[in-house]
Amino acid sequence: MNAQAPTDQNTEDWRLDYLFSLARHSWLIHIGVVMLLGMAWRHGAPDPRASAAWLATMLALSIGMLALAWTHGAGPASQARRRGYLHTLLTGLIGTAWGLGALIISERDFGMLLVYSLALGGTALGAVSSQHVLQRSCLTSIWTSLPLLALAHWNHDPAWWYGGINAAMVLLYAIVLTTQSRRMSQFVTRKVELSTSLDAKVDALTLAMDELNKARREAIAANQAKSRFLAQASHDLRQPIHAIGLLTSALQDTPLNREQRELTETIEGSITSVSSLFQSLLDISRLDVGCVQPRPQAIDLQALLRAAGRQAESHLHHRAAQPRHGPPARIRIARCPVWVFSDPGLLTAIVHNLLTNSIKYGHGHILVGVRRCRDGLAIQVSDQGPGIEAQHLEMIFDEFVRIENEAARRVEGLGLGLSIVRRLANLLDLRVHVRSDPGRGTSFLVSGLRCCPPQPTRLRPAIAHQAHPLNGLPIALIEDDPTVRAATASLMKRWGCEVHALSAAPNRRLGVRFIISDYHLGAAGNGLDAITHIRTLEGWDVPALIIAGRIDPDQQTRLASTAIEYLPKPVAAAALRAWLMRQPRQPT
């Protein structure tokens, strides 16, 4: 916003305020100078009537000017402007009185004329200092007094070489004072204009800042409302998706013709896509409102990478069911027996997003390994995909950005995965680098991990294998949603399991070998407490799995400390079966 120049009315107002603020002191000094000069006049050139008349006139006019200055500010603005014109009139009368006094004295002693000239010259200079903001008064003061003083010098000695030179010097002094007065007026005017412009810009900036702060508060409130809505709705939205996925897997275990099997595979692929998109939106929303806080601890990096690889198995399965995408990728975890200090949940999310990105766009093998860098350890995820052009490497970390190429058109997504990776890495004080060779593949490097000493691991009971991996295994299934509970129980019964389907923790020992529970059980509490209760009844740490739409970082830390694994809803049947196959069946 550009500041408007002050109007003539406003300009006159500030000039008069400035003028009369200086006049109160200036005219008091002027009265003192006049009285001293009147006394010198009577002593140096005795002429009682002339000196008395001059002194009386000057005192009256000076007192009038002093009264005018003291009364400024009272009454409306129109009266103030009239006082300005009255000031100019009185200035002209005072200047004329000074000039006439010089002409009277010039007929007598030159010494007295010299004293008078010094007093008048100082008074004229004082007028420039105090009246330059109002040019008409200042110039009136100069050009009604100094020309008459020049004439007085010429009148005292008409010779050109003495009186003329003195008169010329007085006129030159008047010109100098006029020039100085104009420059001072221009300087003050420019200063006031700049100050007015600056004040206007400050006001505009203040208003803009207020509007920006208001908009920022509204945006924060909207983001928080969106986050609360997603957090509240995530469980309810995931429940039907989770149930549909399990029912579809159960349907695939029944005799189907070719057309029916293709339809169920299409449904399964759609469920996987919806789950991935929903998880990305929820993650980015939680990052936007700053509710993700790192909680670092000692981590077995080898175990973390293997767990992230297992979580990505459902994406591999989905990719393998779609031949148009080419041959599926295969994940290979390089051996890396090291421990690092970081947040296990956030670091797993970073690796998981990098793996799913490589699965979507790559083919052949995906290699996950650890290497040493100057700033510690780094996790490297390399694929054999189509690669990324150099000019696009930084863009891929922006939200909702997808590079337009043939590979991108073949896969679904919102372009949020790599943005989440970088933002999570920033939270952990890690750095994400990417190298890509178009046509040969892409490598992502997450560096800055700090090594730490290995921690003692919790030993599980030895496994007593049965003839069939899952046949006859008793499982406690705790789920408050009846539809999801029925779908999960039906699927596991088809695998040969004996399922105790419950809506809350039981009050008696069931003799189960696995516990699968939702985290949020409504009025029945939470899954972690239910698992702890069952383990107490069974007398050993029964392998347990939490399946939930969302859990907080504090809850994830509690799960990790109790050797309870977590899978986010919706869970693919293959991932659930893989978890069951990895667990010990019974204590020794």
pTM comes to 0.46
Summarize pLDDT for 292-350 with one digit per residue, the tens: 678 888 889 988 888 888 777 666 655 554 544 455 567 888 888 899 999 887 888 88
3-state secondary structure of 392: helix
Dump strand ranges (E) for 251-343: 297-300, 330-333, 339-342
pLDDT for res 463: 36
Dump strand ranges (E) for 155-296: none
Are 141 and 127 within 8 A, CB to CB?
yes
Does 268 or 89 have the greater pLDDT score?
A: 89
pLDDT for res 232: 61
In the chain, the percentage of residues whose pLDDT exceeds 70 is 78
Mean pLDDT lowest among 213-227, 408-422, 474-488, 559-573: 408-422
Are 105 and 152 within 8 A, CB to CB?
yes
- Determine the Cα–Cα distance for residues 361 and 367; give it in Å rounded to an integer: 14
pLDDT for res 553: 63
Summarize pLDDT for 525-581 with one digit per residue, the tens: 888 889 989 999 988 888 889 888 766 666 766 776 677 888 877 787 877 888 888
Half-sphere exposure of 334 (CA within 13 A, CB side): 14
Token pair 């406003």 is found at: 10
- Determine the Cα–Cα distance for residues 328 and 252; give it in Å rounded to an integer: 21
What does the block give as tokens for 233?
């709705």
Q: Provide the pLDDT confidence category of residue 467 given band limits of 50, 70 and 90.
A: very low
- Mean residue pLDDT of the chain comes to 79
Closest by Cα among 272, 270, 271, 334 to 301 = 334
On the question of pLDDT at 458 being above 80, the answer is no
- Determine the Cα–Cα distance for residues 90 and 92; give it in Å rounded to an integer: 5
